[in-house]
Every structure is written in structure tokens, then in C-alpha cells.
Amino acid sequence: MVGSRSADLLVAAGVFAVALATSVSAQRQAPAPRQGPPVEPLVATGGPDPREATARRVCGLCHPFETVIAIRRPRAQWQATVENMVGRGARGTPEELASIVDFLSDHYSLGGPVVRGGAGPDDKPLVDPKAVEAAEPLWSSDCATCHGRDARGTSKGPNLVRSLLVLSDRYGSRLGPYLRAEHPKLPSGKNLQVTDTQVLLFSHLLRSRLNDTLRGAPMFKPGNVLVGNADAGAAYFNRDGGCTKCHSATGDLAGIASRITDPVNLQQRFLFPESAGGGRRGAGGRPAPIVRVTVTPPSASAVTGVLVRMDDFYVTLRGDDGQPQTFRRTAGVKVVKDDPFAAHVALLDQISDTQIHDVVAYLWTLK
């Protein structure tokens, strides 16, 4: 369920930071760090890949090559990793750097059968089971006591799956900065020292725990969601929720509970109208509005089309001619998303669990 508040977010991330601080401290005192299983390449070849020698030579000038491939990454992140490496002093020709990105993407990418994705937007972070496996020992020994094995919290610690920070995190993009700069200092008075690899491992583990709560996951078990007050739901629908700006109980939503006969599906359609129900359909069963995007490069005309995919690194759209175009999201590239579901997205940060149940109970009366 959605409905975590900002206060819950800070508490959840703060308690998690303390747990991870204990973990890191224990690692410093241990005679040898605990290591996860080695990452096996995804691509089987008949012999050595000639690009590997280039990658080992360029990357190995600063650190062991095995450090580079310890965690799988999507291609966009391998591209960013290589660019970061060049910014730190690595040297190679454009052709060599391109071959390194291709090699790492082909052999150590987040893709294929090793990836757990689950339902959700196309740009949702993927999960590498190898990273989760490597993080499990630390989680079990230092974090599970407070947050539970499934990260859903205990009497000693909050639910991290419901944390807005975890929900919006992309491969440690928010988790890492918070742990390094915003959490309280350790009892020693020092700031928490967390390596990039540790942050990445835990981001994959927490994303995996989140995926376990999604429909279609082996651990998912739907419960009774018709526990709210229909009258309170009607009041929220007509006033504070602002639902009547786009919807009507006697118009597009008339008889919706007769068309969507599963309460869980009805709740999913209410909260996530774009992705719920296995197809792009609107609340009233009509074709859903299309998400469009406009991309304006630094020295070129704006391009507008139907959004195909967008993440932190690239945006792909389909123009009026039906042809896809991909733009890299570098500095100076302006991206404007025209999302007809923006009100629903904004609602997720405002609505409480009680209000969600109340609205669903009200929608269930519209038969």
C-alpha cells in the first residue's frame, strides 16, 4: 500500500542508517570483509573477448578489474561509470572507451533472466539477484533484527519498503547521499563511512524486498481491501481529493464496480491508472490518455512525441512519423513530460492509508 509520510521517510532512513553503520563498523573490525559470490558473465563465448583486455588495461590502472564488475549495472549506468572513470583520470581513445562500455554491457549487464523487474513504470530500477545475495549476510546480521527479514519493520524499527526514500531511490542515488550527509553522526562523533559498493548492494536488496510486495511476486498474497468507510471516501472524493476535477460518479465512473469486480484491481486502478489492469485503459474502461514528452536539445529545435521510455540517462519518444528517437539527458537538454496521470502521481505523496481504503470502499458502491 502507498501512504507513507515524510516523517516516516526520515525515521525509516535514519534507523536504517544506524543499522548499516553498525554493519560497516563490524566490517572494519573483522579480519576480512565478507564477500558475495563472484559475478559470472552473462554472455558465453567460444574464447576470450578481445574487448576484455582493453577494459582490464584501462580500468586496472586505478583498481583491480574485479572491483569494476562486482555488481551488474544497466547499460546506461555502465556508460556513466566509464565517464566518471575518465573524469577521475582514466585514459583511452574514444574507440577504446566505447568498446569498454559495450563489453561491460554485454557481459555484466542488468538484463535477461537474471533480472527481477515486476510491475511498474519502464524506468523503474531493476534488481540483480547477485547483488541481493551479496547483501543478505549483512542484512541478516545487522538489520533484520529491527526491520525484519522482509524489511517491513518490527516493533524495533519502521517499515523500509514504505519509505519514500527507498521508493524513489535509483541504485543508491538517494540512499547513498542520505547515509553520508544527512543521518546522525556515530557515537564516536564521526560521520558514517559507506562505500559505493555497500550502498549499491543495499539498494538492490531493498528494491527486491519492495518487488516482493507487488502483484505477481511469489510472496504476494492479496488481502481484504474493503475495510474503509464509504461515506468518508465519498467526502474525500468530492472535496479534499479533488477527484471531481476529472471524474464523475455519474459519468466516467458510473458502474465501475460492475466492470472491475475485484476490489484489489479496483484499488490498483485508482492508485495507478496508467499501469493497472494489464493494459492502457482509463478509469471508465476507455482508452487511457497518452503520455507525451517534449525534448529540446541545447542547439536544436524541440521534438515532441509519445513517450516510450525515460530514465535518468536517456529518453525515447515516438514522433508523428512513427519512428522512435532517443536523446541522452545531458546538461542543457530540456525534457518536459505531459502526463495526464500527474494528479494521480501527486496524490500518492498526500493520501493516507485510511483515505485510500475509504475511497476504494466508496468506489465499490458505484455498481
Residue ending a domain, choose from 181, 211, 241: 211
The answer on 160 and 78 residing in a single domain is no
Is residue 159, in this structure, part of any structural domain at all?
yes
- The answer to whether 277 touches 291, Cβ cutoff 8 Å, is no
Is residue 1, in this structure, part of any structural domain at all?
no
Percent of the chain with pLDDT over 70: 75
The answer on 193 and 146 residing in a single domain is yes
The answer on 84 and 138 residing in a single domain is no
Is residue 216, in this structure, part of any structural domain at all?
no
The pLDDT of residue 4: 39
The whole-angstrom separation of Cα 192 and Cα 180 is: 6
Give the other-Cβ count within 10 Å of 33's Cβ: 9
Helix (H) or strand (E) holding 318: strand 314-318
The answer on 245 and 159 residing in a single domain is no
The pLDDT of residue 76: 72
Out of 237-241, 308-312, 331-335, which region has the weakest mean confidence (pLDDT)?
308-312
Out of 45-49, 135-139, 164-168, 197-201, which region has the weakest mean confidence (pLDDT)?
45-49
- The answer to whether 125 touches 207, Cβ cutoff 8 Å, is yes
Q: Is the pLDDT of residue 229 over 60?
A: yes
Span 155-186, pLDDT tens digits: 877 788 888 888 888 888 888 888 787 765 55
Collapse the DSSP code of 7 into the 3-class scheme (helix H, G, I; strand E, B; otherwise coil) and give the result.
helix
Is residue 239, in this structure, part of any structural domain at all?
yes
Q: Identify the domain containing residue 97 by its residue range.
A: 50-110
- The answer to whether 228 touches 358, Cβ cutoff 8 Å, is yes
Q: Is the pLDDT of residue 239 over 90?
A: yes
Is residue 166, in this structure, part of any structural domain at all?
yes
The whole-angstrom separation of Cα 314 and Cα 293 is: 12
Is residue 139, in this structure, part of any structural domain at all?
yes
Out of 19-28, 94-103, 237-246, which region has the weakest mean confidence (pLDDT)?
19-28
The whole-angstrom separation of Cα 238 and Cα 200 is: 43
Domains: count for the chain: 4
The residue-averaged pLDDT of 221-234 equals 90
Is residue 42, in this structure, part of any structural domain at all?
no
The answer on 199 and 158 residing in a single domain is yes
The answer on 245 and 321 residing in a single domain is no
The pLDDT of residue 138: 80
Q: Is the pLDDT of residue 46 over 60?
A: no
The answer on 354 and 254 residing in a single domain is yes
The answer on 201 and 162 residing in a single domain is yes
The answer on 126 and 26 residing in a single domain is yes
pTM (2 decimals)? Answer: 0.53
Is residue 217, in this structure, part of any structural domain at all?
no
CATH number of the domain encompassing residue 73: 1.10.760
